[in-house]
Amino acid sequence: MEFFKPGRTFDFMRLAWRFFIPLSVVLMVGSIVLMIYPGPNYGTDFRGGTELELAFEKPIDQGKIREAVEKSHQFSEPDVVKVASEPHPDRHFLIRVQEVSAVTDSLKAEVRNALCYTNDGNAPNGDDKTCPANARAIEVKFSQGGDKITLRYDAEPDLAKISEQIKKVPTVVLRKGSAPQVISARDHRVELQLQSRGDQLLDVLSQQLGKDMVPEKALRVEWVGPKAGKQLRDSARNAVALAILAIMVYLAFRFDLRFAPGVVFACLHDAVVVIGVFIIFKKEVTLSTVAAVLTIVGYSMNDTVVVYDRIRENLGKHRGKTFAQIINLSASETISRTILTSGATMLSVLGFFIWGTGVIKDFAFAMVVGIIAGTYSSIYVAAPLTEWIDRKMRSRAPTPAKKKGVLQSARA
């Protein structure tokens, strides 16, 4: 299918350096500034914290939810996001807090003391009555989320006594319907299931808003520790950098060194612009966003390679034309293909963006921005930069006159 008559050539390069290249520089610099200040709004994946997805029993304003969480003084910087989902869009919310572990470092010492923890198996301070052998932990391990404690004893454990001991720490609460249970009779191992931060957040909402408003269970509870979040953030950054490096190496072998910098700069342009748009619209940057950015980098490279391949073909066919004219001709010949490919992809992505929810909607939003940026950068970023590199290489290459002068000097 051809949208334009065959043989028609558009002058894409006429305004490239006067308008489009400066526009791209402004977009990139602006996005980088936004990445520094105010910075990306990292999701729970990257910054760590607890995320609760709730469908309330009645419609409620998100301001009231935030106020209820703040009143408890147990959670800091609550973030409440409405999820537009049918059939009750005014009841579905995501609630995020920075706290992760139900047992902080300061509480761990209290828990160990309450459980009569000792390294050598002897009762602390010689108190065998308060700390009998069957209620004297010789090993105490806390899960990363702080919602589980694993204990080990020298003798068959007294579960009733252990339950009594843990109740001495008022801020540590067993999960509803849960009691100390033996998980290994041979090793005398016991497990305590504690209320997680998600459970505590649900209790806070029930107390502040009423049980008739808050459901008994959350639709989804997720948490990520700050250390794991930092590792994920570093891995995501490295993945994008390695992908762009691999693209540069591939293009250097596929074409020549004139072409590689253009497509790498175009991929960087697209990735940075997408992050900048996310910051402007105050959308969260999550692992799904990184997946979208990597997809966009691949999509942009594919579109640019198609244009580059036609440029390489036309360089051999039209030796009398300048490099800028070759670019105009090649981009004009591939413009119909670009419209078809980008249009078809855009239609499918728009469906997810319009009717999708949550993570899918944000992924689709990144793809919409990326497709527009990728199509634009293939013509107005990668190609002009390649033409500029070609001019620089030709200006430095020895001309026949220069070669003749060098030979004459050598003979003299």
Strand partners, 152: 139, 189
Q: Is pTM beyond 0.75 here?
A: no
Backbone phi and psi for residue 304, each to the nearest 5 degrees, phi listed first: -70, -40
Cα distances (angstroms) measured from residue 37 to each of 34, 272, 279: 5, 14, 10
| Strand spans (E) along 103-219 | 139-142, 148-152, 181-184, 189-193
Span 49-101+198-224: which CATH code? Answer: 3.30.70.3220
What residue segments make up the domains of the chain, in order of their start?
16-42+225-399, 49-101+198-224, 105-191
Give the C-alpha separation, 153 to 135, whole Å. 7
- The 10 Å Cβ neighbour count of residue 193 is 17
What pLDDT is attached to residue 408? 47
What pLDDT is attached to residue 122? 64
Backbone phi and psi for residue 128, each to the nearest 5 degrees, phi listed first: -75, -20
Burial code of 378-405, b = ≥16 C-beta within 10 A, e = fewer? bbbbbbbbbbbbbeeeeeeeeeeeeeee
Give me the tens of pLDDT residue by residue for the chain, a chain 412 residues long: 566 677 788 889 888 888 888 999 999 999 999 999 998 888 777 777 888 889 898 888 888 998 998 888 788 778 888 876 666 667 888 888 877 766 777 788 888 888 888 766 566 655 667 788 888 888 999 887 667 899 999 889 999 999 888 888 887 888 877 888 999 999 999 999 888 888 888 888 998 998 899 998 888 888 776 666 777 778 888 888 888 788 777 777 777 777 888 888 888 899 999 999 999 998 888 888 888 888 888 888 888 888 888 998 998 888 888 989 999 999 999 888 888 888 888 998 998 888 877 678 889 999 999 999 999 998 899 999 988 888 888 887 666 555 455 444 434 4
Burial bucket for residue 30 (CB in 10 Å: 0-12, 13-18, 19+):
middle
- The 10 Å Cβ neighbour count of residue 148 is 17
What pLDDT is attached to residue 233? 78
What pLDDT is attached to residue 235? 84
Q: Which amino acid is at 135?
A: A
Strand partners, 139: 152
The secondary structure of 220-260 as a DSSP string is: EEEEE-HHHHHHHHHHHHHHHHHHHHHHHHHHHHHS-TTTH
Give the C-alpha separation, 133 to 135, whole Å. 5
Give the C-alpha separation, 407 to 411, whole Å. 6
CATH fold of 16-42+225-399 reads Multidrug efflux transporter AcrB transmembrane fold (1.20.1640)
Gyration radius of the chain's alpha carbons = 31
Give the C-alpha separation, 132 to 198, whole Å. 34
pLDDT digits (tens, 9 = 90+) for 189-202: 999 988 888 888 88
> Quick check: do 16-42+225-399 and 49-101+198-224 share a fold?
no
